[in-house]
Amino acid sequence: MSALLEADEIDCRYGLLQAVRGVSLRIDKGETVALIGANGAGKTTLLRALAGAHRMHGGRITFDGVDITGLPAHRRVRLGIALVPEGRRLFPGLTVEENLRVAASSRRGRWNVQAVLDVFPLLQPRRRMLAANLSGGEQQAVAIGRALMGNPSLLLLDEVSLGLAPVVVDAVYRSLADVIREGATVLLVEQDLTRALKVAGRVVCMLEGRVVLEGDAASLDRDHVVNAYFGLKRPA
């Protein structure tokens, strides 16, 4: 496979606090990678840095062969990077369909309003409802659908299951599996280890701002992953 995104030695800070320390990451076209780690590990900061939503203090990012290190977020969106942020951040006064249409771009691809509604069937009867009146799971589906409306080459998903009931998470992940089968390239931040290991082909674990474990999901020993996740035993 050819690399879609390559991040090299990424550093990010909040004032004097260094949240991401020398992280390097490669994502191949068509790959699904789960980025896991406990709260405060630096996952969200790294995701936002890749999307151009958080300033980097060191490192380099290449996307589809183009150096995007200095590009602002809106330029990265045009190149094909879409971020679904933690907290969804929908337009509460717009309907489901309006939230989707506002994110449409000139990039060509399969994703339009009907395609999104087809892959997230729970939204079909709610397409004219205001986003403010949706459940958390429905809002998450709209947030993912809104990102897809730009026909991105890379989908960055931050905490898909956060705050949702297990049955709702199941429904969202079923739809996400359909998106992945369509050939999407996905980097998924997830705290639920079981889901992360099921949906991803590869897992990257962060601890205290660093990558401490990386490998194919199918071949990683679960105990090894748990130890890396909680910092109980550093991998050799």
Instruction: Tell me how far apart the alpha carbons of residues 54 and 37 are, in angstroms, rounded to a whole number.
Output: 19
Q: Which of 35, 56, 62, 74 is CA-nearest to residue 157? A: 35
Domain carrying residue 206: 3-230
Instruction: Tell me how far apart the alpha carbons of residues 88 and 142 are, in angstroms, rounded to a whole number.
Output: 8
Residue 128, domain CATH: 3.40.50.300
Total structural domains within the chain: 1
Q: Considering the domain boundaries, does residue 23 fall inside one? A: yes
What is the per-residue pLDDT for 96? 97
Tens-digit pLDDT string for the chain (236 aa): 689 999 999 999 999 999 999 999 999 999 999 999 999 999 999 999 999 999 999 999 999 999 999 999 999 999 999 999 987 889 999 999 999 999 988 788 889 999 999 999 999 999 999 999 999 999 999 999 999 999 999 999 998 888 888 888 888 888 888 899 888 999 999 888 888 888 899 999 999 999 999 999 988 888 888 889 888 855 44
127 CB-near residues (< 8 Å, 6+ apart): 95, 96, 97, 113, 117
Q: Considering the domain boundaries, does residue 35 fall inside one? A: yes
User: What number of other Cβ atoms are within 10 A of residue 79's Cβ?
Assistant: 16
Q: Considering the domain boundaries, does residue 67 fall inside one? A: yes
Name the token pair of 180.
């992945």
Instruction: Tell me how far apart the alpha carbons of residues 105 and 152 are, in angstroms, rounded to a whole number.
Output: 10
Q: Considering the domain boundaries, does residue 236 fall inside one? A: no
Q: Considering the domain boundaries, does residue 9 fall inside one? A: yes
Q: Considering the domain boundaries, does residue 138 fall inside one? A: yes
Q: Considering the domain boundaries, does residue 150 fall inside one? A: yes
Q: Considering the domain boundaries, does residue 11 fall inside one? A: yes
Q: In what order do the strands lie in the sheet with 3-14?
A: 17-28, 3-14, 58-63, 66-67
